[in-house]
């Protein structure tokens, strides 16, 4: 048996992995960062079970190359995402931890219904 | 509290999402499919917690374009993967379900230790 | 010797190839298409030698999957781009031609300077 | 009028741009680098007009993260590629130049046929 909590954790993982590998490599600069943040949020909020997402790109880390722009790197991503499967809600994050872009489950919650079912 | 089973499900999700969005779009044909399968397996077996992975690409779905090749599409992917976090093992799959590339938890297992801890 | 026209053609090719493989696979729907168009334009206008870019996504081709969204496919992309290297300007396009996302040089122009230099 | 040399330069650019943005982000280590090199070569040799390709990944640059692997970065790529359009042959490269992954036309050659056709 797979619980709702486990399914929510699985679905949240799918979305973080997808986001990371879809967007890394995109040309980006401090000027275009805002537009890219919105595009990432608008893309992934549509995926199944995602109820909230916020994306912050670290502008400090966008060191311009000799042509004046950077490429989106995993370490620039700060993402918070909430996924809901049936009664279970899973909140996850992607953020820099030293030199690793760490993905974490922040919490999982389950509706505690006083129900007769 | 997050259980090992939940963490295993999360880690498995990350890897399936990553794999999908990393490789979709790669030029591929029936001739190069084998080489691509190995490269995908070799890439993702290195990721944290992955213990087994097998990738089958659907050669029937590789309809050559006017230049004689295709692009890897999500519906061509048949993936089985096993992830282990502490005592919990999670086995997941990605395979075509109608027109959707469905990711599923096949099973989660936990070592049932007769332990006094 | 490589001419400015040849270099402009090369640079334009790089950008179309990059754009295609960076963005294909992104979750998209008719609602999010506008945000994605802007993000693509804002990303690639920053790349060296690009002077103009316009991106149109074919909303008709965005047939929702069972979860209500699509994935950006090469055949949805209609791109016009202008690249300038020294005196040469190269205008290229990416658009659907039957079942192939065709990239073409539309024209190359070179400043005909009446100059004593 | 677009010359064969210009078209060859354009097609070569497309392939380098595509290669870069398709593969950057792939999990890789010194152990899996060989398998990835072959997969990249096998994928892109299939694309229109490509006649030769060789891919070398810089193993020195693959500094393992805390989980023992790296991600393919643009600066790890050393690519040589030959593209032929009609009578014109264009040889291009992608290699590290300081902190920038530089793409260059190395030479373009055109068959000088003493022909009566």
User: Structural domain boundaries of chain B?
Assistant: 4-110
Answer whether C28's CB lies under 8 Å from C36's CB: yes
The reported pLDDT for the residue numbered D117 is 46
Contact B105/A at CB under 8 A: yes
Please name the member of C2, C20, C107 whose beta carbon is closest to the beta carbon of D105: C2
Query: pLDDT digit string (tens) for B52-105?
Result: 999 999 999 999 988 889 999 999 999 999 999 999 999 999 999 988 999 999
**Residue B28 pLDDT greater than 50, yes or no:** yes
- Residue A68 pLDDT exceeds 90: no
- A92: contact with C, CB 8 A cutoff: no
Q: What is the pTM of this model?
A: 0.93
How many whole angstroms separate alpha carbon B4 and alpha carbon A72? 32
- CA C107/CA B26 separation, integer angstroms: 29
Per-residue confidence of chain C (117 residues) as pLDDT tens digits? Answer: 899 999 999 999 999 999 999 999 999 999 999 999 999 999 999 999 999 999 999 999 999 988 889 999 999 999 999 999 999 999 999 999 998 999 999 999 998 765 544
Task: Write down the pLDDT at residue C117.
Answer: 46
Q: Is B81 on the interface with A (CB under 8 A)?
A: no
User: For position A67, what pLDDT does the model report?
Assistant: 87
Closest residue to A24, CB basis, from D20, D25, D99: D25
Find out if CATH 3.30.1300.20 is the number for domain B4-110: yes
Chain D from 2 to 41: CB within 8 A of any A CB: 20-21, 24-25
Look at the block and give the residue holding tokens 């046929």: D113
* Helix (H/G/I), strand (E/B), else coil: B117: coil
Rounded to a whole number of angstroms, the CA Rg of chain D reads 16
CB pairs under 8 A between B and D: 61
Q: Nearest chain D Cα to A100, which residue?
A: D65
What crossing angle do the helices spanning C4-23 and D4-23 adopt, rounded to 10°? 30
pLDDT of residue C61: 95
Please provide the DSSP assignment of B62-104 as one string: ----TTS-EE--GGGEEEEEEEEETTEEEEEEEEEETTEEEEE
Percent of chain A residues topping a pLDDT of 90: 87
For residue A114, pLDDT beyond 60: no
* Mean pLDDT across chain A: 94
| pLDDT band per the 50, 70, 90 thresholds, residue A12 | very high
For residues A87-111, give the mean pLDDT.
Answer: 96
Confidence (pLDDT) at B27: 96
C68 touches chain B (CB under 8 A): no
Q: Which tens digit of pLDDT belongs to each residue from B40-58?
A: 999 999 999 999 999 999 9
pLDDT in tens, chain D (117 residues): 899 999 999 999 999 999 999 999 999 999 999 999 999 999 999 999 999 999 999 999 999 988 889 999 999 999 999 999 999 999 999 999 998 999 999 999 998 765 544
Give percent of chain D with pLDDT exceeding 70.
96
pLDDT, mean of residues A62-70:
90
From A34, A12, A24, A28, select the one nearest A103 (Cα to Cα). A12
Q: Would you mind telling me the total number of residues written for chain A in this entry?
A: 117
- pLDDT number for residue C67: 87
Neighbouring chains of A at 3+ CB pairs under 8 Å are B, C, D
Q: Could you tell me if A91 lies within 8 Å of chain B, comparing CB atoms?
A: no
Record: contact A46-C68, CB cut-off 8 A:
yes
Annotated binding residues of C for substrate, written as ranges, equal 11, 103
- Neighbour-count burial for A5-42, b at 16+ CB within 10 Å, e otherwise: bbbbbbbbbbbbbbbbbbbbbbbbbeebbebbbbbbbb
pLDDT for B22? 95
């Amino acid at each position: 048996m797979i619980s709702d909590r486990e399914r929510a954790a699985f679905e949240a993982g799918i979305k973080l992995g997808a986001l990371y590998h879809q967007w890394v490599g995109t040309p980006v600069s401090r000027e275009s960062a805002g537009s890219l943040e919105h595009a990432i949020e608008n893309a992934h909020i549509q995926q199944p079970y995602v109820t909230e997402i916020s994306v912050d790109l670290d502008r400090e880390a966008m060191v311009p190359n000799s042509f004046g722009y950077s490429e989106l790197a995993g370490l620039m991503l700060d993402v918070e995402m909430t996924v809901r499967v049936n009664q279970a809600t899973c909140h996850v994050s992607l953020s820099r931890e030293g030199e690793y872009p760490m993905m974490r489950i922040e919490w999982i919650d389950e509706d505690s219904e006083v129900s007769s079912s």
